[in-house]
Amino acid sequence: MPKRSRQTVSRRAARPRLASFCAAGSALLLPGAAARGQSVAGIAGMDSAGGFFGLSLGAGLVIFATITALLHLAGRRLWSRREAELTAEIDQLNQKVERARAFLASETQFVVVWGGSGGEPEIEGDVSLVLDAPAPRRVLGFGAWLSPAQAQTLEANVALLRERGHGFRQDLVSQNGRHLEAEGRAIGSRVVMRVRDVSGDRLELMRLRKVQAEQKAQLEILRGLLDLTAHPVWTRGPDGDLDWVNTAYARAVDAKSPQDATARGLELLDRPAREAAARARQAGNIWRRREHVVVAGVRRLMDVLDAPLPGGGGGLADDLAELEALRADHARQVESHIRTLDQIATAVAIFDRSKRLVFANAAYRHLWGLDQAFLEQGPSDSEILDQLRAGRRLPEQADYRAWKMALLANYQIMEPAPQVWHLPDGRTVRVAFDPNPQGGITYLFDNVTERFTLESQYNALARVQSETLDALQEGVAVFGADGRLKLCNPAFLRLWRLPAGLVAEHPHIDTITAASRPLVPHDAVWSDLRSAVAGLHSVRMGFERRMNRSDGAVVDCAAAPLPDGGTLLTFIDVTDGVNVERALKERNQALLAAEQLRNDFVHHVSYELRSPLTNIIGFIQLLGDGSVGPLNEKQREYAGYVLKSSAALLAIINDILDLATIDRDAMELRFGEVDIQRVIGEAAEGLQDRLAESHVELSIVAAPEIGGFRADGQRIRQILFNLLSNAVGFSEPGQVVTLAALRRENEIVFKVSDRGRGIPPELLDKVFDRFESHTINSRHRGVGLGLSIVRAFVELHGGTVHIDSAPGEGTVVTCIFPLRGGETESRPKIDPLLEARA
């Protein structure tokens, strides 16, 4: 029952109760009032105050009853009018329900309605359409009356309808063979699915819809395929306007998309071509022509086809640019082949199936001495042979006619055998025949005269080499890949005391080994020799071995693999050389012992001199500072001389120790980060007394941000000190010695320059030699070890030293150090004397 009808019934049931309640109230109130009046009239003795109160109460009850009765009458009139309206509305709804049921009954169908609250669905209609039993709830089990595939699709459509409101239409075939149509849509907060039987026109409509869908899918497939092709394709409607174009067409006319090209009517062909194609379509003819078309801003040659079609027309454009490019490339390749054939030494002549010349390269013309004009006329093969015979440029033949017929018969042979022609002028020509697939033949002429000459020369050279091997004093033997002796010289037979007839038998290496074993009984030597000769090719390697024979001779053996798989063995008697070598080794060992004795003597003497000299310097310093008593001026002057001489002598001894340590390879540097500014200052500090004594000024040029580099700081300071001492010694009073330091890409450069007398060119190569001191009339005195020390320490750092000097212009010494001179540090091995000196 509808909700509004239930409300109307409840109101009708409530009206009698309300009326009876009102009537009962009135009856209850009115008799009370009468009794109350009687009571008031009957009681004469009540005082005036009590009587007024009772009268007021009775009047109020009467008024309340009256108002209640009036309200009841007004509400009853409203209820009656509302009841009439609801009754009319119920009648209208009943009529609509009857019309809806009649509409449902007009077709064989049923409807399923799902409410918005997710409750049970309502099913109306003839469910016997799909079910044999009258059980409406089984309709929702789609698998009970549909195939599994259709049931799964229908369940998915219903789920989308209920969840998102997506309508659907689906053609179905029930299990009993009936054709059905399911349609779903959302109506307000409800969703409705209608399933109806289709037959007759509707069934035909469904079939047509299926055919239309299939044809539409095929059309989309065809259009998709046409979109993948690189050829522009288009269709036109009955009015001749563009109806559809593919992606290639859109690219050709610079359109954003095929839809943009059809919407804007962008034409690929120019107006004359379009008009010609339109006239052909109207006449029912196919229009085909090659046109130059602008495609994406580039002019291209295209093969255009335009044909009339049912309902309009269509066209296709085939880009011929690639074909034309292939043709041009083929022409270029043919021309390139012709140029290549003109460059090769083989003479080539091509004849067609009619035996006429179609091509001849330059080598052919040069080989036979034929005129270019004659060949350009395309003579026949027979005419060319006749002309060559007339010029005596063919082999002499007893029967020329038969020979020519046999030669021309090669046109019919699939694989003719090559021939060798010996010409009257002494040339030898090899002739090869290559039949052409299209008919005809190609002649290939190779002038092999030089090859025959080389072959004879090779044979002569082989004989010369054989004679040379026989004259050698070294034993030479060649073994093949099978380990058998191929050839050997007499020296080999004499060296191993083998019989002369052994070579003719080509013995195996094992036979040679067995015959030579008494001279060299060591099995290891012969095993290695056999592996070199008869070993596997993948592991065969050359080797050299010295063999000490039992007769006192010494033989050097060398094995070298040959390219053909053989092995070359050479044996040299080095007995005399070994004896000389032994004598030289003994002498060398004596020299090394003498050098070691000298170095030990230098170290010992330097150490023994250094210890008392250190004591002398210490005592002189004590005398000079007055610790043991005052000295007069003369004594102090003499003590200063002694101190300077001792210091100079100590420096010489230290330099000798350094050089001796370098000679023994015991000098190793202590690498660390060296501050350039600091090491320059320390070197200059130790030179102040010499600068003051010589009245020479020192100028230091170095940028404050020059930083440092990796080196041995003590040796760098010693290098700079020696260079500055040398420069000060060769400078005149008042001159300036300059020490400059600069940083380049991966190098640190120190330059010490002076303006002294300079060094003559003939002495520049000797200044770094030890004990070479060339004072050149200067105040400098020394033993010639300073620059030797400099070069030795710079080279230990991996650097180089350069010296530039000219007489009268001064000297510049440049030391170049690598920026990272000591990447790997290790604890240096210090000579014991240097350790004591430190």
Which range of 320-324, 426-430, 714-718 scores highest in mean pLDDT? It is 426-430
Q: What are phi and psi of 224, to 5 degrees?
A: -65, -40
For residues 7 and 1, what is the distance between their CA atoms, to the nearest angstrom?
Answer: 10
pLDDT band for position 386 (cuts 50, 70, 90): very high
pLDDT value of residue 36: 38
pLDDT value of residue 27: 36
Helix runs in 497-555, H state only:
509-516, 523-534
Percentage of the residues of the chain whose pLDDT score is greater than 70: 80
Q: Report the DSSP beta bridge partners of residue 185.
A: 192
Nearest alpha carbon to residue 793 among 657, 676, 607, 659: 659
- 3-state SS assignment for residue 241: coil
pLDDT band for position 34 (cuts 50, 70, 90): very low
Which range of 108-122, 487-501, 637-651 scores highest in mean pLDDT? It is 487-501
Arithmetic mean of pLDDT over the chain: 78
pLDDT value of residue 16: 42
pLDDT value of residue 33: 37
pLDDT value of residue 599: 66
Residue pair 114/121 in contact by the 8 Å Cβ criterion: yes
Structure tokens at 830: 């210090």
Residue pair 512/479 in contact by the 8 Å Cβ criterion: no
- With a CB cutoff of 8 Å and minimum separation 6, the contacts of 687 are 698, 721, 724, 725, 728
Average pLDDT of the segment spanning 11-17: 41
The count of other CB atoms within 10 Å of the CB of residue 532 is 23
**What are the tens digits of pLDDT across the range 724-768?**
888 888 888 888 899 999 988 888 899 999 888 888 777 776 677
Structure tokens at 199: 């037959």
For residues 459 and 55, what is the distance between their CA atoms, to the nearest angstrom?
Answer: 172
For residues 72 and 14, what is the distance between their CA atoms, to the nearest angstrom?
Answer: 13
pLDDT value of residue 752: 92
Residue pair 86/4 in contact by the 8 Å Cβ criterion: yes
pLDDT value of residue 791: 85
The strands making up 109-114's β-sheet, listed across from edge to edge, are: 122-125, 109-114, 190-197, 179-187, 168-173
Helix runs in 665-799, H state only:
676-685, 688-694, 713-729, 786-796
Does the pLDDT of residue 612 top 80, yes or no?
Answer: no
Does the pLDDT of residue 190 top 70, yes or no?
Answer: yes
Q: What are phi and psi of 557, to 5 degrees?
A: -115, 135
Average pLDDT of the segment spanning 692-713: 86
625 to 208, 543, 622, 687, 805: CA distances (angstroms)? 132, 76, 5, 21, 43
The count of other CB atoms within 10 Å of the CB of residue 347 is 22
Residue 782, CB-side half-sphere exposure with 13 Å CA sphere: 31
Question: For the chain, how are helix, strand and coil distributed in percent, rounded to 5?
Answer: 50, 20, 25
pLDDT value of residue 380: 92
Which range of 105-119, 148-162, 219-233 scores highest in mean pLDDT? It is 148-162
Q: Report the DSSP beta bridge partners of residue 307.
A: 314
pLDDT band for position 144 (cuts 50, 70, 90): confident
- Of 106-120, 280-294, 376-390, 732-746, minimum mean pLDDT range: 106-120
Nearest alpha carbon to residue 408 among 387, 383, 389: 383
Does the pLDDT of residue 391 top 60, yes or no?
Answer: yes
pLDDT value of residue 384: 92
More confident site: 602 or 791: 791
More confident site: 596 or 244: 244
Taking only Cα atoms into account, the Rg of the chain, rounded to an integer number of angstroms, comes to 64
pLDDT band for position 351 (cuts 50, 70, 90): very high
pLDDT band for position 444 (cuts 50, 70, 90): very high
pTM of the predicted model as reported, rounded to 2 decimal places: 0.31
pLDDT band for position 12 (cuts 50, 70, 90): very low
Average pLDDT of the segment spanning 109-136: 77
pLDDT band for position 403 (cuts 50, 70, 90): very high
pLDDT value of residue 35: 36
pLDDT value of residue 13: 40
702 to 738, 747, 749, 820: CA distances (angstroms)? 11, 15, 11, 19
Residue with tokens 């469910």: 127
**What are the tens digits of pLDDT across the range 304-335?**
888 888 878 888 888 777 777 777 787 888 78
**What are the tens digits of pLDDT across the range 487-539?**
888 888 888 888 877 777 888 888 888 888 888 888 788 888 888 888 765 55
Structure tokens at 285: 């003819």
Does the pLDDT of residue 688 top 60, yes or no?
Answer: yes
For residues 351 and 439, what is the distance between their CA atoms, to the nearest angstrom?
Answer: 9
For residues 343 and 363, what is the distance between their CA atoms, to the nearest angstrom?
Answer: 8
DSSP 356-396: BEEEE-HHHHHHHT--HHHHHT--BHHHHHHHHHHTT-S--
pLDDT band for position 3 (cuts 50, 70, 90): very low
Which range of 204-208, 254-258, 461-465, 667-671 scores highest in mean pLDDT? It is 254-258
Residue pair 61/94 in contact by the 8 Å Cβ criterion: no
- Of 287-291, 398-402, 439-443, 819-823, minimum mean pLDDT range: 819-823
pLDDT value of residue 814: 92
**What are the tens digits of pLDDT across the range 619-643?**
677 776 666 677 777 777 777 767 6
pLDDT value of residue 608: 66
